[in-house]
Structures are given as structure tokens and as C-alpha cells.
Amino acid sequence: METPGTPEEVLEILADCAAKARPIEVMGGGTKRGVGRVEGAVLTLSTKALDSVLDYQPEELVLTARPGAGLADLERLVTSENQMLPFEPPSLVKLLGAKGEPTLGGVLAANLSGPRRVRAGAARDHLLGFSAVSGRGEVFKAGGKVVKNVTGYDLSKLMAGSWGTLAVLTEVTIKVLPRAKTEASLLVFGLDDRRAIQAMSRALNAPVEVSGAAHLPLAVAARPPLAAQMPVTVLRLEGFEASVAARVESLAEALREFGRVDRLDAEHSREFWAQVREVDAFQADPRPLWRVSVPPAAGWRIGEALSDVVYDWGGGLVWALSDDASAVRRAARSAGGHATLYRGQAEATAFEPLDGALAALTARVKAAFDPQGILNPGRTGI
């Protein structure tokens, strides 16, 4: 395994691989290495040694780091300044049975976002700029170090979620935000999946700034740590104490028609949303785990087709346990979304197969950055 310690070493390795058409596996800490299969790689490159923080300006809400910077270390750093990573990135180490530590570059490469995505946006929305080395063995940059800089904005969005198939990041600049002073969550009990999504939609469209919207059907809510006797729908509010208190009252009134409404205090709210972010309910279950992205209003269709699901993002993200890959793909397509296999079932394709115009467009983008297909070949199906 190659663990370059400088961007120049990354360039040297990739230039050599490009010249010799040598396929290479690219990863950060390796915690999501099992998502998708890299085919035919003769070399593995890890960015975990590129782990320094280059610049952090709390007053400007901007942080620049190497891609191997540990996620936990960055969380501690910004917390020391009463700030946060707005997209609430999950670790998923326990869920995936992985070893090692997630890195900033890995989180961005997978575009991983937690429950706060419904309010703050996805990981890619907070990537202000980056430097990278393409599959051509060439250095390129996009974006900048100021929040209002939009140069290369689309390129930053393209890189986030590309799973290391287009380039190797060597530097990233992200936006951070002030940490909320407190939080509270409202719980609505007894809703079926479709009704729960209606309740979450009502909450997300209310002028109360909901920052988390999740639903646990009975089969999941009954398990530890909740051990509830009925389905639970949970909405989070964050901010200053007086503001949160007022918005809790307003939201409780808006949700009254959906049934009994209870409240979680700040401590228990934080515990609950950490469990949602890390999908704790499915950590101990050995069955294949799927991450399904759908239009929120259609999320209930996944639960209708599959028995064990957890809803996040107001219904737009559904985690599902199923041994039947075909059933998962059908359910995702019928709901207007797509499914990614995150754990288990080695014979199944992890990423949704592309067809038609989308497949052609994806191939053209891949060819522009990595014409010989040396970076993580086959991982996402291209």
C-alpha cells in the first residue's frame, strides 16, 4: 500500500500509474472500502498520511485540511471553537464492521451527510474548494477559501460523491457553522409510514427550522435502545434556548392532528440523533444493508415493499435490511429513487446500474478526468 505524505508524492504515483495504465485502488481510512468492488487494481493508495489541518479561520467559518485528516479530530477541533461540520457526517464504522478512522476526504468522496441535511444541505454543498490529481496524472484545482467564492462550484459538487473514481483529493476547503446552543426533539407516536412522512413534511414546511426528521416503524422502534411499543416519528429543533422553546410549542401545535406529541430534552435528543446518524438499529443485524435515496413523499413505498427500514431526511433517505437485491432495486425504482448496497451480499452490484443518457454522460465525465480508467475501476459500475 502506498501512503503518500505530500501532494507531490500523490502526483508522482498517479503520473506513473497513468503512464503505465496501472489500475489503482484509492481510499482514505478504508472504513468504506467494502462499498462497491474495485476490479483489477495492482496498487492501493491511501491518503491517510495526508492528515494535517492547513488553515482554520473560525471567524471566517472556513477550514482547509488534507484529505486524510481524521473526522473525529476535525469534530473536536471545530467543537473547541463552538462550531460544527454543518452536514453532520456519519462515521458508519460500527455499522459497516470496519476498522480504522473515517477521513474528511472519504466523507466528501462518498458525499455522506447526516440528519441535518434536511436543514443545512449535503456534504457537497459545504465543499468550497479543493486541489486534486486526476487519473491523467495532472494537478487541478477548483473553488476557493471564501464562502462567497463560486468559482468551480459545479466541479466541487461533481467531485463529492465520485467515490475516488475521478481524482485523488490532496487538499479540501469546507464551510463550518456555529454550533447550536441547545436542541430539543418532538416525538409523535403510532403513525404508519405514509402518515409519518406526511407529518415530517408538515414539520419541514413549517416556519420552525426543523433540522432532523426521522421515522422508526414498529419493527425497528421496538428494538433497543428505544424499545418502544409503537412507531416513533421524531423532529429536531436547534438554536438558542428561547428560540427552541418557542418553536417547540409552535411545531407541537402544528402536529397535534397526528396524535400524541412528547418532547425529548437536549441530552436525550443528542443521543437519539447520534443513533439515527449511525443507523444503530441495524448494527447488530447481519443481513445485507441498503441505502435508498428517494423523493421524500415516496419514501413510504420502500417500507411497503421491505419490512425492516429506518427513515431519515423526512423520508428521502431509507436504510433497509434485505437479502433480496432485486426486490430492493424494484422498490427504489418504483419510488423514483436508487439503492446502494452498503454491507453484505458480495455477489450483488453495490451501485444502481446506469442506463441510457445517464450512463453515457457518466462515461464522458469519467473519460475527461480518467481516460484510461485507472482510478477505482468498477467501483461504481464504470
* pLDDT at position 307: 86
* pLDDT at position 149: 46
Cell numbers at residue 179, please?
454550533
Question: 122 or 145, which is more confident?
Answer: 122
CB-facing half-sphere around the CA of 64: CA atoms within 13 A: 15
* pLDDT at position 288: 96
* pLDDT at position 354: 86
Domains and CATH numbers, the chain: 7-178 (3.30.465.10), 182-277 (3.30.70.2190), 280-343 (3.30.70)
Mean pLDDT of the residues in the chain? 95
* pLDDT at position 349: 86
Percent of the chain with pLDDT over 90: 90
Given phi > 0 = left and psi -120 to 50 = alpha, else beta, which region is 121? left
Question: How long is the chain?
Answer: 382
Q: Is pLDDT of 347 > 90?
A: no
* pLDDT at position 150: 44
Distance CA 81, CA 79 (A): 5
* pLDDT at position 304: 95
Q: Is residue 262 within 8 Å of residue 74, measured between CB atoms?
A: no
Q: Is pLDDT of 220 > 70?
A: yes
Q: Is pLDDT of 146 > 60?
A: no
Distance CA 376, CA 130 (A): 20
Q: Is pLDDT of 73 > 50?
A: yes
Distance CA 321, CA 343 (A): 10
308 three-class SS: strand
**Chain-centre distance of CA 89, in angstroms?**
6
pLDDT-based confidence at residue 188 (cuts at 50, 70, 90) = very high
Nearest to 213 by CA among 92, 340, 304, 88: 88
pLDDT-based confidence at residue 151 (cuts at 50, 70, 90) = very low
* pLDDT at position 153: 44
Per-residue pLDDT tens digits for 242-292: 999 999 999 999 999 999 999 999 999 999 999 999 999 999 999 999 999
Q: Is pLDDT of 183 > 50?
A: yes
Distance CA 148, CA 46 (A): 32
Q: Is pLDDT of 226 > 90?
A: no
Burial (Cβ within 10 Å: 0-12, 13-18, ≥19) of residue 214: buried
Q: Is residue 90 within 8 Å of residue 278, measured between CB atoms?
A: yes
Q: Is pLDDT of 381 > 90?
A: no
DSSP string, 10-37: HHHHHHHHHHHT--EEEESSSTTTTSS-
Nearest to 86 by CA among 97, 78, 94, 98: 78
Q: What is the number of helices (H) and of strands (E) in the chain? A: 13, 17
Distance CA 160, CA 171 (A): 13
* pLDDT at position 56: 98
**Mean pLDDT for the stretch of residues 323-348:** 92
